[in-house]
Chain A
Amino acid sequence: MTPVQSSPAPSLAIENVRKTFTVETRTFAALDDVSLTLRHNEIVSILGPSGCGKSTLLRLVAGLETPDAGALFINGRRPVAGPARDCAIVFQDHRLFPWLTVSGNVDLALDSCRLAPAERRERVRRYIALVGLGSFASAYPRQLSGGMAQRAAIARALVAEPALLLMDEPFGALDSLLRTRLQGELLDIWERNRVTILLVTHDVEEAIYLSDRVVVMQPNPGRIRAVVDVGLPRPRQREETAFIALRKSLLELLS
């Protein structure tokens, strides 16, 4: 399969990245020689037990940490220092600013974009509507339920129309019903606004349901154990045999 690409460079290229942390006097490798390439508009999940470095990998891509060795390229460009342009992140907790309304929070993400005020307002309105919070634009975060706040965080991440969306267990703090629904909504949004998504999760079903490929990681040191192609047509049914079989083999890879 050869996808048509607008740009020859991959959306994200991670090359031989290593990251160590020192706690007290002990040094351990959170990531050791990790390489991964994401094609444009691909959804890739990183699956692994806690401590396998999956969140560290995401933070490296976001520019919140710097690698000890290796390099990262977003759209072929190497971020100089600090958080990269064209890249947004949704954390496990919503991290909305409590003193700003939903639209105030979403608007904040456009701070580094040069947009005319009218266009900026329209963009904020459109993305708040996209995540189904149209009538809550002027609500404050504390007035929202967990699911609504997380949707607002997704709107904030998408509003600057990044080429790469990073998600660190974005639905991990929600109950399973809501999680399933937001997974569906995320796919809807992805179909409408094509974007490359790198998603960290510990939920095997979530990884299969959402992704084109699943990266399985192992701890001590954090390494990629396997990269599995999902290859099921969307929309995927969690009950179908192929889904369940894939789930079984992924669980085996994890244990």
Chain B
Amino acid sequence: MPLDSKALDTKDRAGILHPPPLPWNGREAERGDGGRRLFRPAGAGRLPDRLLPFALPGALLASWQAVTAAGFMPEQVLPPPSLVLRTFIAFLGDGEIANNLLVSLRRIACGLGIGVVTGFAFGLLLGVSRRAEAYLGPLFRAFAAVPALGWIPVLILILGIDEALKIVILSKACFVPMVIATLDAYRNIPARLREAADVMRLSPRTRLLKLTLPAMMPMLFGGLRLSAGQAFVSLIVVEMLAATEGIGYMMVWGRTLFQIDIVMVGMAIVGVTGFLLDALLRRIERGIGARMGERTGSHG
């Protein structure tokens, strides 16, 4: 019979507490969702859970191959997956992919880094200071309403088409979601805990490290992941419009050559890289959550 919470409290006359077998690390505690298994129908021939995410892409790929093999569409419009794969392997071999991907990732890293750091700082400023919010809040919202890509025509004139243009566009794309996430995270610090911190008269430093940041962490990570997504979108567009290298440029180049297979290789690389980046951020997020004992927010 499982111990209930009252039984856990048992202390005998000698004052010795009997520690119950508690789920000591977060991972085991999380697994307590017995409900999910109950609703799974026990059918024969079902895929293992790990393979489920691949079922739909696999089916799409198969029908794509079937459509092209039947010759419904010319190869210039819809190249077969086998051709895309051949192009992919050829580009992988001559370093075309590695070079362009490296250039694109460097731009992502710069833009994400600058946008996230400045976005966090600015969001915190708006959250902490009512006056800053009054002065800067409306301007920020107007600024946020113009998409990063809407700035390209003006910025091309000012910055040219060099690296600076891409970094500025990407930073702006990451800045906005990070500011919003930081502001929301700050406002969602539970008032109950803020009062507890008030009566303990915590120093500003302790308050930041032990209350503000841990309480904000889940939402900050949500903002970080949103920013990374925005960075990818903007990167590809800006590379397609004004660049001489990068995955986006590679796609435009393929289109001008009427080699849609190259475009599709680019699309696949962007998709997979974005997916991996998000998975990495989620893993870090979970790691931090486990270290802090508990997460106040929901899993993103």
Residues of A within 8 A of B (CB): 62-64, 82-83, 85, 87-89, 91, 93, 95, 97-101, 104, 108-109, 111-112, 132-136, 139-143, 145-148, 156, 160, 175, 177-178
B195 touches A64 (CB 8 A): yes
Asked whether A178 and B9 contact (CB < 8 A) given A108-B206, A111-B202, A136-B19, the answer is yes
Asked whether A139 and B22 contact (CB < 8 A) given A83-B199, A93-B192, the answer is yes
- Say yes or no for B214: interface residue by CB 8 A criterion: yes
Residues of the B chain whose Cβ atoms lie less than 8 Å from the Cβ of A109: 200
Report A84 CB to chain B, min CB distance, Å. Answer: 9
Residues of the B chain whose Cβ atoms lie less than 8 Å from the Cβ of A134: 17
Residues of the A chain whose Cβ atoms lie less than 8 Å from the Cβ of B5: 145-147
- Say yes or no for B45: interface residue by CB 8 A criterion: no
A99 touches B201 (CB 8 A): no
Q: Give the one of B15, B17, B296 with max A CB within 10 A.
A: B17
Instruction: List residues 192-213 of chain B with CB under 8 A from any CB of chain A.
Output: 192-193, 195-196, 198-203, 206, 210-211
- What is the CA–CA distance of A44 and B9 in the complex, to the nearest angstrom? 28
Asked whether A64 and B9 contact (CB < 8 A) given A98-B294, A135-B19, A142-B294, the answer is no
Report B132 CB to chain A, min CB distance, Å. Answer: 22
Residue of B nearest to A143 (CB): B22
Residues of the B chain whose Cβ atoms lie less than 8 Å from the Cβ of A99: 214-215, 292-294, 296
- Say yes or no for B23: interface residue by CB 8 A criterion: yes
For chain B, give the interface size range. Answer: 20 to 34
Residues of the A chain whose Cβ atoms lie less than 8 Å from the Cβ of B11: 132
B195 touches A95 (CB 8 A): yes
- Could you name 18 residue pairs across A and B whose Cβ atoms are closer than 8 Å? A83-B199, A89-B199, A95-B193, A97-B211, A108-B206, A108-B210, A111-B202, A112-B203, A140-B293, A140-B294, A142-B294, A143-B22, A143-B24, A145-B8, A148-B9, A160-B200, A175-B6, A177-B6
Q: Give the one of B5, B292, B293 with max A CB within 10 A.
A: B293
Residues of the A chain whose Cβ atoms lie less than 8 Å from the Cβ of B214: 97, 99
A148 touches B199 (CB 8 A): no
- What is the CA–CA distance of A100 and B292 in the complex, to the nearest angstrom? 7
Known pairs A63-B198, A97-B211, A175-B6 / 19 extra A-B pairs, C-beta < 8 Å: A83-B198, A83-B200, A83-B201, A89-B199, A91-B195, A95-B196, A97-B210, A98-B294, A98-B296, A99-B214, A99-B293, A111-B202, A141-B293, A142-B29, A142-B293, A143-B23, A143-B24, A145-B9, A178-B6
Instruction: List residues 222-268 of chain B with CB under 8 A from any CB of chain A.
Output: none
Asked whether A88 and B199 contact (CB < 8 A) given A98-B293, A99-B294, A142-B293, the answer is yes
Residues of the A chain whose Cβ atoms lie less than 8 Å from the Cβ of B8: 145, 148
B210 touches A85 (CB 8 A): no
Report A16 CB to chain B, min CB distance, Å. Answer: 24
Residues of the B chain whose Cβ atoms lie less than 8 Å from the Cβ of A83: 198-201
A108 touches B294 (CB 8 A): no
Residue of A nearest to B7 (CB): A145
